[in-house]
């Protein structure tokens, strides 16, 4: 009878271990899902950052072009002003 009791106890412990393994597998699967979601979010943020950087570069180029055009206009006005002054 003692041997049967030991087997029963061993079975119970095995069930506990198997249950814990199953819980760990479930937790790992959830962690993998969370990690994948965070990875996708990082990819989206990286894409948005690159788009923002490209937009900023475009705006900077346009600003420089506008500044150059304003400088040209101001230079023309100076020439006209000098011409009228003589």
The pLDDT of residue 18 = 98
Q: Answer yes or no: pTM beyond 0.85.
A: no
Calpha distance 81→79 (Å, rounded): 5
Q: What is the pLDDT of residues 9-66, one digit of tens each?
A: 999 999 999 999 999 999 999 999 999 999 999 999 999 999 999 999 999 999 999 9
| Calpha distance 49→39 (Å, rounded) | 15
């Amino acid at each position: 009878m003692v041997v049967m009791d030991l087997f029963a106890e061993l079975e119970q412990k095995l069930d506990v271990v198997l249950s814990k393994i199953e819980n760990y597998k479930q937790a790992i699967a959830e962690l993998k899902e969370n990690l994948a979601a965070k990875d996708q979010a990082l990819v989206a943020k990286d894409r948005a950052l690159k788009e923002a950087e490209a937009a900023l570069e475009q705006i900077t180029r346009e600003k420089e072009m506008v500044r150059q055009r304003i400088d040209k206009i101001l230079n023309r006005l100076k020439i006209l002003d000098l011409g009228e002054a003589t």
